[in-house]
């Protein structure tokens, strides 16, 4: 376990410190800001509800439920039972970590709720929209990956936090997307 944690810190150092540059120092804090994505969420809700009427509203309920469940599993079940210092609060790496956010979250680092939530909705979007919007699926996962990468880059999560949060999100998004398609589907 110690080797895994050391590897995690070394990989974090590469992402957060060695790969830093002025453009990413500007972009990454902005990219991970949830307010930035509100227009995208509203666009998706309008797109689906206008084109698919009643089924579209069920899609909105399932999409919201996917994120709520993902956030609950990551934030309430896992984070409250597995306590891990965030890199921005870890004294053992304080001399080299770049913290690019204006605050230092105090909750546990494991798992990343940003990763869980964004990968859950990306998976849900992929499963429920890929037949209607053939070119979009890769964009959904690139979006989730970018936000997750930003969490490491700004100094608030280790790579393992992101990886495990992403796995949780993918599993929840998969179950939710399959359930939606089985019961409603956007046909």
> Are 111 and 74 spatial neighbours (Cβ–Cβ below 8 Å)?
yes
Structure tokens at 104: 């230092």
The pTM of this model reads 0.92
Task: Encode pLDDT of 59-81 as tens digits.
Answer: 999 999 999 999 999 999 999 99
Average pLDDT over residues 127-144: 86
Distances (CA, A) of 159 to 53, 112, 175: 40, 9, 24
Structure tokens at 168: 């949780």
Q: What's the rounded Cα separation, in Å, for the pair 90 and 92?
A: 5
DSSP-assigned states of every residue in 127-150: HHHTTTSTTSHHHHHHHHHHHHHH
Instruction: Give the distance, in angstroms, between the CA of residue 137 and the centroid of all CA atoms in the same chain.
Output: 16
What pLDDT sits at residue 34?
84
Average pLDDT over residues 158-175: 98
Return the percentage of the chain with pLDDT > 90, whole number. 80
What pLDDT sits at residue 187?
63
Tell whether the model's pLDDT for residue 150 goes beyond 80: yes
Domain 2-183 CATH assignment equals 2.40.160:
no
Tell whether the model's pLDDT for residue 12 goes beyond 80: yes
Mean pLDDT, the chain, whole residue set: 93
What pLDDT sits at residue 104?
82
Tell whether the model's pLDDT for residue 102 goes beyond 90: no
Structure tokens at 54: 């009643």
Average pLDDT over residues 27-39: 92
Average pLDDT over residues 2-31: 95
Q: What's the rounded Cα separation, in Å, for the pair 60 and 137?
A: 18
């Amino acid at each position: 376990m110690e080797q895994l944690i050391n590897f995690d810190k070394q990989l974090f150092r590469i992402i957060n410190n060695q790969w830093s540059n002025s453009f990413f120092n500007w972009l990454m804090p902005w990219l991970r800001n949830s307010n930035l994505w509100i227009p995208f969420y509203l666009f998706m809700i309008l797109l689906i509800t206008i084109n698919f009427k009643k089924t579209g509203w069920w899609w909105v309920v399932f999409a919201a439920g996917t994120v709520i469940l993902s956030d609950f599993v990551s934030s309430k079940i896992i984070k409250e039972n597995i306590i891990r210092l965030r890199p921005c609060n870890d004294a053992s790496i304080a001399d080299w970590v770049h913290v690019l956010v204006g605050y230092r979250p105090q909750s546990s680092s494991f798992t990343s709720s940003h990763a869980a939530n964004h990968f859950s909705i990306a998976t849900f979007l992929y499963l429920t929209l890929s037949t209607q919007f053939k070119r979009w699926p890769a964009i959904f996962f690139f979006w989730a990956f970018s936000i997750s990468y930003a969490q490491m880059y700004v100094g608030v999560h280790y790579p393992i936090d992101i990886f495990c949060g992403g796995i949780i999100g993918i599993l929840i998004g998969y179950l939710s997307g399959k359930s939606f398609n089985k019961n409603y589907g956007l046909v």
